[in-house]
Amino acid sequence: MTEFEKYEEFYYSGQVEGRGIVTPEQLHDLFSEHSVIYGEFFGHTLDHLNAFPAIDLACGYGNAMHFLKSRGFSDISGVDLDPRQVALAQSVGLPARIGNVFDALGQAEHYGVVSAFDIIEHLSKNDAVTLVQSVHAALRPGGAFIVQCPCADGFCGAHDLCNDLTHRWAPTSITL
């Protein structure tokens, strides 16, 4: 995704207020909640990678960057198209920048961790494949790619797919 379509721009223009996360204090509360969840799901699998750079694609206001920082990652970055969410992440000292996820990955075998929370479902299937291939090339051997997205064959698959105007598809548990 290189830029927003008109309907995406309209939809995302209200996301910061719509989620009710507009202050650094509210953001820290959210980070605390998500850090517990992330830690339970995959935290233990990342600790050996914290000496390597990590990047969060479509970083939003920085949940994954905050989590990685709490796990000892010091070389982290994030990229997102939404300037309001990037500004919120920056307001709490997270290294977020406005940019395109496809341009952000850079050199081959560089990253220990690449995270992509809630982005795959916003891309066309062709762009999703391109993203996965780009991440694969950018990861160091033994690196981790963390993806979160609606799962079409999950219990709430239809709800998760359709609860956001900008979702284009949802993979099943075997397609991604």
Q: What is the pLDDT of residues 39-71, one digit of tens each?
A: 998 888 898 999 999 999 999 989 999 999 999
Mean pLDDT computed over 100-120? 90
> Taking the model in full, what pTM does it have?
0.87
Q: Which residues contact 19 (CB under 8 A, 6 or more apart)?
A: none
Token couple for 83: 């300037």
pLDDT higher than threshold 70 for residue 37: yes
pLDDT higher than threshold 80 for residue 21: no
Token couple for 106: 């850079």
Q: Which of 11-15, 32-36, 48-52, 162-166 has the lowest mean pLDDT?
A: 11-15
For residue 84, the model assigns a pLDDT of 87
Q: Confidence class of residue 165 from pLDDT cuts 50, 70 and 90?
A: confident
Mean pLDDT computed over 74-89? 93
For the chain, percent of residues with pLDDT exceeding 70? 93
For residue 2, the model assigns a pLDDT of 61
pLDDT higher than threshold 60 for residue 1: no
